[in-house]
Amino acid sequence: MNTRTILISIVFMLFGCDENSDTHELVNLIQDNENTWQSSGINSYTYVYSDIPTDCPNVDPYPPVEITVEEGVITTLYVPELDTFLEAENHSYPTINMIFENMMNSANDIKGIPTFDDTFGYPTSYEVDLTSSQCDGQVIMLSFI
């Protein structure tokens, strides 16, 4: 190791790039917004879910899906782009509560800072990349309709 590399390493150790601190701040941000969402008392809603692959160059984005949740349970999945309803029972689409759970479970893999609705606290956009391998990254975007 040369002197410059050693100095840079010491600076990072002393002054920042503390991944645990960043993860702790991210977890607090997610929890604060989840608390806002929970305190709103909303358990029936419709939102648009978009899942865009970020590191898979040969895969097209999936079409957005309108998800209707009634009393915390997904009841309708509609793909406007295809004018098609999907079976609500056989799906892998999440409720907002499930999205918060997914965000907490993957906090170490979230890239950048997620965005949240200012009023209700639900996530509006975040990026996850599980590894340095291709085809495991995605941007999740949500909007209420």
pLDDT at 90: 81
Is 130 in contact with 111 (CB distance < 8 Å)? no
For residue 128, give its domain range. Answer: 17-144
The reply to whether 6 falls in a domain is no
Confidence check: pLDDT of 16 > 60? no
The reply to whether 8 falls in a domain is no
The reply to whether 3 falls in a domain is no
How far apart CA 122 and CA 101 sit, in angstroms, is 12
pLDDT at 20: 67
How far apart CA 47 and CA 23 sit, in angstroms, is 28
The reply to whether 77 falls in a domain is yes
The reply to whether 5 falls in a domain is no
The size of the chain, in residues, is 145
pLDDT tens for residues 21-59?
788 999 999 999 999 999 999 999 999 999 999 888 888
How far apart CA 134 and CA 131 sit, in angstroms, is 8
Domain count of the fold of the chain: 1
Q: In what order do the strands lie in the sheet with 137-144?
A: 84-86, 73-79, 65-70, 45-53, 137-144, 123-129, 110-116
* DSSP characters over 20-46: HHHHHHHHHHHHHHHHHHHHHT--SEE
The reply to whether 10 falls in a domain is no
pLDDT tens for residues 49-90?
999 998 888 888 889 999 999 999 999 999 999 999 999 888
Q: Which tokens go with 122?
A: 């639900």
pLDDT tens for residues 89-145?
888 999 999 999 999 999 999 999 999 999 999 999 999 998 888 888 899 999 998
The reply to whether 31 falls in a domain is yes
pLDDT at 48: 98
The reply to whether 1 falls in a domain is no
pLDDT at 19: 55
How far apart CA 68 and CA 74 sit, in angstroms, is 6
Beta-carbon-side half-sphere exposure of residue 74 (alpha carbons within 13 Å) = 23
